[in-house]
A and B are shown apart, each in its own frame.
Chain A
Amino acid sequence: MDTFLDSLQAAYGSLTAKKMRSVLSILGVVIGILTISSLLTISFGVRDQIGSYIGDLGANLLVVLPGDTDQSGGFASQFGVSTLTESDVEAIRREVPEVINLNSAMIISHPKFFILAGSPGIQATFNLKLDQGQFPDQNDEFRRSRVAVVGAKVTENPIVIRGQTYEVVGHLSPVTNASSLGGPDVNSMVVIPLSTGWEVTNTKQIFRISMQAPTAETVGPLRERIESTMLQNHRGEKDFSVLTQDDILSLANDILDLITAMISAIAAISLVVGGIGIMNIMLVTVNERTREIGIRKAVGATRGVIMLQFLIESILLTFMAGVVAVGIFSAMIALVKSHVPIPLSLDWYVILIALGFSILAGIVFGLIPAWQASRKDPIEALRYE
């Protein structure tokens, strides 16, 4: 313990003796740690947002999407002409009658609004709450009524979609944390009947079929039955996916993981560059303090003790870099959190990871200088001018 404290004191003495050099040498590591912390926090923020959006969807949700997400085509297989049809909805209604709020939906492009054409029950899937009015019902669906329920940001009445006017029959409750990632902005949403959407677009596309299992325990078994019904309806060709909320979440997380891994690799490069700077400074320090190494060896310091001393010095440098980076990062979060749509917060595990990485960088990049210091011959070291 005494040796450790002595090493810490020696390291502190050395670092404070050359303040400017110490500050400049940690800059690279500060930038590296700052990059890692920022990426982690943004990644966690996005994850939280997507998680909260998916969590906001109706309970025990089951969704059928076009394309097979398990195959190599993966996420990309969902783009293009949808493989879902009206007969799939009917087959599920017939073969799996236990499901509730069975509905299907399509999305219509519009320069201003997020238009969701959905059959009755769509409000349960998207957890949409009415402030006033009513959702289009089965009658509207049958008559292909030109009616719409609009989000809080939509003020027009009537509204015009592809040259046709729609009467606003309901207003959605305003949503404070309107989703900006991974989901539609409820406040600028326009909901119309599915049959109306088909007529307007002159297609019978279905982008998703949604339903709810009556209880959490039945989600798994019902999913299997829906899958087998769909497979039968598609003559054995699995060109669709049946997903639960967990699947949707894990799909989103898979994509995020990939992006995070790629950007982390870039962050790691900046940390390595910073670490090489630390190694360089430590090699200079070892050279400058050759006589000190000789003195310490003469009076009884073993190679291990000398190595420990310089390793502690290197760790202290990078740890300081970590602390500075966390400080700057906290200030950055406080400044920008109210201006970005992602929920950002300084989590203790991000701080721990940042400081952990800084210590790791100190060990990795301090090893060679510390080893060199420990190998110095005491006689030559004492003679060093």
Chain B
Amino acid sequence: MILLRDVNKTYSEGRVAFHALKDVNLEINQGEFVSILGPSGSGKSTLMHLIGGLDRPTIGTVVVNYQSLGILSDKQLTKFRNQNIGFVFQFFHLLPYLTALENVRLPLMYSDYKIDRNHHAAEMLRYFGLGEKLKSKINELSGGERQRVAIARALICDPAIILADEPTGNLDSKNGEYVFETLTTLHQLGKTVVVVTHDEHLAKRAHRIIHVKDGHVS
């Protein structure tokens, strides 16, 4: 369950203040598949960052999985992200000097899970058809393969919520379709999936579309 109450986010640069989100009230139920749709600069990425605990609202309350994020310290918020949120980014955000396996294993390194991390990460990559690429460096992988590695990394700690920011933005249609189908499958497996996109066609494939424009949610 994701709940935002009277959330405002303002960025200040010198004397100029930019209101990225204005009085946002939003509720996303557990297990829902939601698209956040809006043009560039509308505030949709900011919304995702607040839900994911990467940022804090200027005013308002954000509750995720029955946990109010505002009362958490930076360290607690980091742990919360590690355990509850899986991020998929448009530019993959993988570490180039690590192998596919090491990239997927990364969140486990910061978690308290007492499991065979290498084995678990390898299994995850095999699930995404990358069993042959475990030891490949990121620059040896295609764009589609990189995004699959990124999804595997997002899922490695078994988070309840998947937040995907323009996950198909850097992919061709075939790989984009694969990624979206994967997200659909994850939803069917009980995950809450929130996809941020400016592509209306993709957004319509979610169960609900949240429109963001000029910092307002409708």
Contacts known (A3-B110, A300-B79, A302-B75); A382 close to B89, Cβ less than 8 A: yes
Q: At the interface, yes or no: B71 with Cβ under 8 Å from chain A?
A: no
Output the nearest chain A residue to B85 by Cβ-Cβ distance: A298
CB within 8 Å of A: which B81-113 residues: 81-83, 87, 89, 93-95, 97-98, 102, 106-107, 109-111
Chain B 58-93 interface residues, beta-carbon cutoff 8 Å to A: 74-75, 78-79, 81-83, 87, 89, 93
Q: Is B23 an interface residue (CB 8 A)?
A: no
A342-385: which residues lie under 8 A (CB-CB) from chain B?
Answer: 378-379, 382
A13-B97, A299-B81 given as contacts; is B110 within 8 A of A305 (CB)? yes
B141 at interface (Cβ–Cβ under 8 A)? no
Contact A299 B97 (CB under 8 A): no
Give complex CA distance A2, B102 in Å.
12
The verdict on A302 contacting B78 (CB below 8 Å), with A14-B97, A379-B49, A379-B54 known, is yes
Contact A291 B78 (CB under 8 A): no
Complex contact A2–B109 (CB within 8 A): yes
Which single member of B74, B98, B106, B117 contacts A299 (CB below 8 Å)?
B106
Taking the closest CB of chain A, its distance from the CB of B115, in whole angstroms, is 11
Q: Is the CB of A298 within 8 A of B110?
A: no
B-facing residues in A302-334 (Cβ within 8 Å): 302-305
Assuming the contacts A378-B54, A382-B89, asked whether A299 and B107 have C-beta atoms less than 8 A apart, the reply is: yes
Which residue in chain B gives the minimum CB-CB distance to A3?
B109
Please give the distance in Å from B84's CB to the nearest CB on chain A: 10
* Complex CA–CA separation, A298 to B89 (angstroms): 11
Residue of B nearest to A291 (CB): B93
* Closest residue of A by beta carbon distance from B55: A379
Q: Decide if A300 touches B110 in the complex (CB within 8 Å).
A: yes
In the complex, chain B residues whose CB is within 8 Å of the CB of A9: 98, 102
Taking a contact as CB atoms under 8 Å apart, the answer to whether B74 and A298 are in contact is no
Q: A298 and B54 in contact (CB under 8 A), knowing A17-B97, A379-B49, A382-B89?
A: yes
Can you show 9 pairs from A to B with CB atoms below 8 A apart? A296-B95, A298-B93, A299-B110, A300-B82, A300-B110, A300-B111, A302-B78, A303-B75, A305-B110
A interface with B by C-beta (< 8 Å): 2-3, 6, 9-10, 13-14, 17, 291-292, 294-305, 378-379, 382
Other than the given A13-B97, A298-B81, A300-B107, 6 more pairs (CB < 8 A) read: A6-B106, A10-B97, A294-B93, A298-B93, A378-B55, A379-B54
